[in-house]
């Protein structure tokens, strides 16, 4: 009887330990890639976590080596998220701030993955917002470059459509005549925006320039100017000869 009680208690303890182990997560680095392991339904042991959630997919570290991650256990996905964020931040930030487009692209990919983490602490959420603000500029810069290429391709296609007579050549010619100047100006504006990436160094033109003009000068100052430069302020002469006097006007004058 005592043996059965001991066996039952042992089985219950093993089951509780197995359930507890099943809920834990650990991080492992294999061949420069970070893998997330989930505990097995056993008192000990784990296996790679096969999940469709992109936030927890294997993460290439690209030479980065996090400290003391393989010795920690995480009891839920919130703790796991808070452990993953510093790694993603360390991978994303230097790449986003670099001037290499390929590095920036990789940095934005790490930023996108960090945005999937739902269990971040408040200070980590603030760090994520700051990182997102840095990345937004480079995203906009990339899209401007893509837009410029797209506009140039559009003009090339319209020109190609006008080279041989077809049912759309007249419409293409009309569209090209209207759009080419506007698209050229827009393409030039995009190039200037990419040349000068730091907008804070350049004063933006006012939205309503006429509203910023000074008020009209007082009447006394205008009168003084008229007296000083009478020729500059004289009424313009007409290019047409004055009309001839009528017969009645000539007779009355005599």
Nearest to 71 by CA among 29, 109, 117: 29
Question: What residues contact 61, with CB distance under 8 A and at least 6 apart?
Answer: 29, 32, 33, 34, 87, 91
Nearest to 25 by CA among 4, 3, 55: 55
What's the longest Cα–Cα distance across the chain?
153
Angle subtended at Cα 231 by Cα 225 and Cα 235, rounded to the nearest 5 degrees: 95
What is the SS3 assignment for 231? coil
Question: What residues contact 228, with CB distance under 8 A and at least 6 apart?
Answer: none
Question: What residues contact 219, with CB distance under 8 A and at least 6 apart?
Answer: none
Rounded to two decimals, the pTM is 0.61
Q: What is the pLDDT along the chain (254 residues), one digit of tens a residue?
A: 788 778 788 778 877 777 777 789 999 999 999 999 998 877 777 888 988 899 999 999 988 888 878 778 999 999 999 999 999 999 999 999 887 888 888 999 999 999 999 999 999 999 999 999 988 888 888 888 888 888 889 888 988 999 888 888 889 889 888 888 888 888 888 778 766 544 444 444 443 334 334 444 454 554 565 565 555 444 444 444 454 554 445 444 54
**What are the φ/ψ torsions at residue 74 (nearest 5 degrees)?**
-120, 130
What is the SS3 assignment for 36? strand
């Amino acid at each position: 009887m005592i043996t059965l009680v001991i066996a039952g208690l042992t089985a219950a303890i093993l089951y509780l330990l197995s359930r507890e182990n099943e809920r834990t997560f650990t991080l492992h680095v294999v061949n420069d890639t970070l893998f997330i392991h989930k505990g097995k339904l056993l008192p000990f042991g784990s296996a790679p976590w096969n999940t469709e959630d992109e936030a927890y997919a294997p993460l290439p570290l690209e030479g980065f080596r996090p400290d003391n991650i393989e010795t920690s256990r995480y009891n839920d996905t919130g703790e796991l998220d808070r452990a993953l964020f510093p790694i993603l931040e360390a991978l994303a930030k230097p790449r986003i701030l670099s001037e290499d487009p390929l590095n920036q692209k990789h940095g934005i990919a790490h930023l996108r993955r960090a945005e999937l983490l739902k269990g971040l602490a408040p200070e980590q959420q603030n760090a994520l917002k700051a990182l997102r603000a840095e990345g937004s500029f480079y995203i906009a810069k990339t899209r401007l470059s893509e837009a410029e290429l797209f506009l140039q391709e559009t003009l090339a296609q319209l020109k190609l459509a006008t080279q041989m007579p077809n049912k759309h050549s007249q419409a293409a010619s009309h569209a090209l005549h209207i759009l080419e100047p506007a698209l050229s100006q827009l393409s030039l504006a995009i190039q200037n925006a990419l040349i000068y990436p730091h907008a804070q160094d350049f004063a933006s033109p006012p939205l309503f320039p006429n509203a910023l003009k000074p008020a009209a000068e007082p009447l006394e100052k205008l009168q003084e100017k008229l007296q000083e430069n009478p020729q500059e302020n004289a009424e313009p002469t007409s290019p047409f000869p004055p009309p001839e006097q009528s017969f009645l006007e000539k007779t009355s004058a005599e």
